[in-house]
């Protein structure tokens, strides 16, 4: 069975030789694993871990905006970032130049140098798809439209939340510019792929540790129509739609199902209402889950046997499909390597220690 067949069969709840596998790694953890296995390319690491999905996106070829003073990086929106060492063995880019916060009027909005979907080389998409044709080919990413986080990085989290709740015309215009940009990017990518993409990936963190980020009425009014068009786009091109959402999404999952979402990604087992057995019983016949291997507790702080037990539980719980085995988020740099290897040994049905030997 190819990886593509394995993923699509699992989503359709048809028989598979084993459940499909995904991984999310910080750069530091990726390098630790590559060093452990003695490989030089991330693709080699994915093969060793049995990962069944591959991302394909056209490269961004347009010039980036000028690097803001005091920033280490800049994105296509003009937002500057500094690399922040969080003290646990790695660094993250954190926004320190909030370019979109300077937009306070519609005149500012019209004058801003917005990026264009023309900035990507879509001609490369077919060849990129062909290179990974045996895998489940995924276009897009968790950063689209990513309204709260994506706009928040350039405008400030508090401001974007105020924009959403008050439907401030300037704030909504910025949000819709981002949504339209990524929608056009996705549409042109799928069109260029000519049917070679299996899954369109999108993202919006709709939950926190205690429940939904917003009242369901706010989700219906503001978020649902903006996300729905991406799900419809995926289906128009014959793809599955997969949405990343951290936090407690239990109260929103009936809405996701009604919207036609196929796969809910980055499912965390710790937030309120997200017990794997409960969500599987409630929605597992209509929604495929990706994640559920704890990156908040078990992987970083559990024993090897606790990690194995959690992996076995998830694999047994979803033996009939509707699941992609994966960490719930990026595995952090200070996670014990033996814990990471243990869960992938379980997913691959390998003997304990098989991956530990490198």
| Closest by CA position to 225, among listed 211, 245, 244, 204 | 204
Counting Cα atoms < 13 Å in the Cβ hemisphere of 139 gives 36
| 3-class secondary structure, 112 | coil
Q: Are 149 and 79 in contact (CB under 8 A)?
A: no
Q: Which residues of 260-282 are buried (b: 16+ CB within 10 A; e: fewer)?
A: ebbbbbbbbbebebbebeebbee
pLDDT higher than 90, residue 308: yes
Tell me the per-residue pLDDT of 152-196, one tens digit each, with 9 for 90 and over.
999 999 999 999 999 999 999 999 999 999 999 999 999 999 999
Q: What is the pLDDT of residue 300?
A: 97
- Angle formed at CA 90 by CA 86 and CA 91, multiple of 5 degrees: 65
The pLDDT value recorded for residue 354 is: 96
Share of the chain above pLDDT 70, in %: 100
pTM over 0.75: yes
The β-bridge partners of 199 are 138, 240
pLDDT band at 319 (very low <50, low <70, confident <90, very high): very high
Residue 223 pLDDT level (bands cut at 50, 70, 90): very high
Confidence of residue 348 (pLDDT cuts 50, 70, 90): very high
pLDDT digits (tens, 9 = 90+) for 73-103: 999 999 999 999 988 788 899 999 999 999 9
Q: What percent of the chain has pLDDT over 90?
A: 97
Q: Where are the domains of the chain?
A: 3-58+121-347
Per-residue pLDDT, 357: 77
pLDDT at 358: 66
Tell me the pLDDT of the chain averaged across its residues.
Answer: 97
Topology of domain 3-58+121-347 in CATH is TIM Barrel (3.20.20)
């Amino acid at each position: 069975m190819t990886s593509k067949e394995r993923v699509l069969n699992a989503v359709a709840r048809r028989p598979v030789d084993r459940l499909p596998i995904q991984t999310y790694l910080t750069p530091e953890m990726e390098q630790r694993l590559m060093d452990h296995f003695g490989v030089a390319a991330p693709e080699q690491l994915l093969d060793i871990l049995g990962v069944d999905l591959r991302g394909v996106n056209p490269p961004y070829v347009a010039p980036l905006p000028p690097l803001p003073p005091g920033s280490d990086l800049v994105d296509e929106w003009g937002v500057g970032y500094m690399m922040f060492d969080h003290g646990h063995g790695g660094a993250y880019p954190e926004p320190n130049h909030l370019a979109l916060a300077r937009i306070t009027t519609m005149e500012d909005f019209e004058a801003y140098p917005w990026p264009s979907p023309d900035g990507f080389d879509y001609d490369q998409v077919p060849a990129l798809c062909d290179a990974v044709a045996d895998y489940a080919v995924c276009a897009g990413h968790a950063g689209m439209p990513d309204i709260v986080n994506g706009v928040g990085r350039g405008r400030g989290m508090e401001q974007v939340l105020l924009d959403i709740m008050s439907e401030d015309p300037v704030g909504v215009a910025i949000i819709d510019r981002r949504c339209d940009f990524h929608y056009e990017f996705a549409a042109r990518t799928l069109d260029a792929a000519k049917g070679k993409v299996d899954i369109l990936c999108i993202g919006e963190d709709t939950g926190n540790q205690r429940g939904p980020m917003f009242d369901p009425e706010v989700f219906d009014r503001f978020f649902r129509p903006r996300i729905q068009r991406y799900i419809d786009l995926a289906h128009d091109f014959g793809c599955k739609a997969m949405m990343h959402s951290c936090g407690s999404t239990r109260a929103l999952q009936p809405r996701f199902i009604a919207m036609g979402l196929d796969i809910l990604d980055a499912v965390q087992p710790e937030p309120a209402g997200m017990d794997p057995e409960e969500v599987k019983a409630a929605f597992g016949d209509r929604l495929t889950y990706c994640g559920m291997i704890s990156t908040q507790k078990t992987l970083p702080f559990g024993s090897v046997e606790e990690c194995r037990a959690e992996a076995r539980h998830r694999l047994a719980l979803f033996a009939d499909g509707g699941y992609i085995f994966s960490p719930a988020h990026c595995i952090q740099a200070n996670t014990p390597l033996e814990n990471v290897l243990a869960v992938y040994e379980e997913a691959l049905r390998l003997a304990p220690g098989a991956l530990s030997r490198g």
